[in-house]
Amino acid sequence: MRHGKAGLKIGRSSSHRKAMFRNMVTSLFKYDRITTTDVKAKELKRWADDLITLAKRGDLHAQRQALAIITEKEVAYKLFNEAADRYGDIQGGYTIIAKIGNRPGDAAPISIVELVAREKSKPLQPRSRKVAKTASEAKKIAEKSKEASSEKPAPVAPETQTENA
């Protein structure tokens, strides 16, 4: 039976695997984005989410547990200082994995692992799923959606200069 054996072996010894993921998670927190293979990215997501949960907790024991994994002290301090502000309102899903294609040398599938950046000023609101039964209700719903979209500044198109000589 395979009870209590979480994690992937990915063809490496346990010491090599542990050292590799410690280095990868340190690089992820240092640069906010790294490129790796799909299998490593999925396992790295588990490591990173666990460390962010520790950082959100923020007590001394959590700091010592994180420093046992993260290889650079500056990165660990940065994580603990930013975690509450950056991830305070969400309960997981701190990383995104985006597949970008295959590596040219051996055709291994490659992904980008990126930390999620949430703005604390605007909490996420669920979308309105109202269905209009009459034309007047449809106009009201359209007006409300226009007001909500007008709060966001529209992107400004670059102005083209034409000179008449």
Q: Say which CATH superfamily domain 14-115 falls into.
A: Ribosomal protein L17 (3.90.1030.10)
Domain residue spans in the chain? Answer: 14-115
Q: What is the DSSP string of 90-129?
A: --S--EEEEEEEE-TTT--EEEEEEE----SSS---PPP-
Residue 135 has pLDDT above 80, yes or no: no
Report yes or no: 53 and 25 within 8 Å, Cβ to Cβ: no
pLDDT attached to residue 6: 83
Q: What is the pTM of this model?
A: 0.68
Q: What's the rounded Cα separation, in Å, for the pair 4 and 6?
A: 6
CB burial of 50-82 (b: ≥16 within 10 Å; e: otherwise) equals ebbbbbbeeeeebbeebbebbeeeebbeebbee
pLDDT attached to residue 104: 92
